[in-house]
Structure 1
């Protein structure tokens, strides 16, 4: 079992980013992502995670991409409420696959992958929004990046999915400023 335990918000970010980047992400790639988030290998093989299950999970991730790109707290809350109304059931504690007791809001322990992903992802974001009082997630602002980020730590709100994207954006902005201030004849000031 992974040392990080259940982190449904990060799982949501990782899967939604992968599907946003590669809309036809393979069943094997999705299974690998799920395994990195402590899903049981037995649940990710054969009939337990079929091509149809992968399609259902991709569709669910695509639905959550709209919420992850929403920066307005009120619109994000309304969208989360809509997903919870459509997908969630009464909360229940569950313990399986060697994990500690944890909260489930999907319809049942044998629900489909889409329902499970939507219900658990919406609950995770709703908890974050209510705890922080703001949207702490978003789409990376770096050019050509399609990833999402989750920023729940201290400090300024995040704008990038990684230090690499933040650094690339800073360098690009510096180059643009430098180019805008260069003399028109291309000769250095002097």
Structure 2
């Protein structure tokens, strides 16, 4: 998707939610999600995105999902710092697959898919946290939802993954109040 740019925060949310919904998400489904977020199908094939790579990527997504469920900014920052320290790489500019220059912090072009995903996601979360001064992500507060969200839009802090969940919760609260008033 040349011109779309990299949106690692959105990619992180989509992969983390997909793996939370299906911890055994197939290699093909993961490859499709990666392609949707700008990775070329040629890259996915050329780099031999194997079942083992998919297993490691699922584990990385699950680890990041736990971090995204952390609403305390200090604990989230500590978790991000742990991930960045594990990456152990210096930032570098990279251009590939028709994309413009962008920042990488993985170990290089031979880094595994999981290493790349952890590093790029940690960098994205660090940038987002410093921009907002808080952790603007979390787990949807709607009962029976639990999807992760990234609340980087305008307005006050989010509590729901979507307007549909927020509306359902407001309507349910209204019904409870009316019932309590009798």
| TM-score category, normalised to shorter length | over 0.9
- Do the aligned partners of residues 103 and 47 (structure 1) sit closer, same or farther apart at CA in structure 2, a change above 3 Å counting? closer
Query: After superposition, where does 1:6-155 map in structure 2 within 5 Å?
Result: 6-45=6-45, 48-155=48-155
Q: Work out the CA distance in 2 between the residues paired with 1:17 and 1:88.
A: 27
**Aligned residues of 1:139 and 1:160 also touching (Cα < 8 A):** yes
Unaligned runs of 5+ in 1: 183-190
Q: Structure 2 unaligned segments of length 5 or more: list them.
A: none
**8 Å CA contact retained: 1:83, 1:122:** yes
1:66 Cα deviation from its structure 2 partner: 1.4
CA contact (8 A) 2:2 2:99 kept: no
- 8 Å CA contact 2:2, 2:98 repeated in 1: no
For 2:34 and 2:177, how far apart are their aligned partners in 1? Answer: 42
Name the Cα RMSD after superposition.
1.5
Match of 2:172 in 1: 172
Query: Could you report, residue by residue, the CA deviation over 1:23-47 in whole angstroms, capped at 9, with x for unpaired residues?
Result: 1111111111111101010123487
Whole-Å separation in 1 of the counterparts to 2:137 and 2:20: 15
Q: Is the 8 A contact 2:89 2:106 kept in 1?
A: yes
Cα shift at 1:127:
0.5
Give the whole-Å Cα distance in 2 for the aligned partners of 1:47 and 1:112: 9
How many matched pairs? 182
1:187 counterpart residue number: none
SS in 1 for 2:108: coil
Q: After the TM superposition, which of the residue ranges 43-52 and 90-99 deviates more from structure 2? A: 43-52
CA shift at 1:179, angstroms?
Answer: 2.3
CA contact (8 A) 1:2 1:37 kept: no
Aligned partners of 2:3 and 2:139: how far apart in 1?
A: 27
Q: Mean alpha-carbon deviation: is it higher for 44-53 or for 29-38?
A: 44-53
Distance 1:146 1:51, change over 3 A: farther
Note the C-alpha offset of 1:181.
Answer: 2.2
So what's the TM-score if we normalise by structure 2?
0.94
Comparing 50-59 with 19-28, which one deviates more in the overlay?
A: 19-28
* 1:132-189 alpha-carbon deviations (Å, 9 max, x no partner): 111111111112213111111221101111111111111222222222222xxxxxxx
Taking a change above 3 Å as real, the CA distance of residues 153 and 88 of structure 1, as seen in their structure-2 partners, is farther
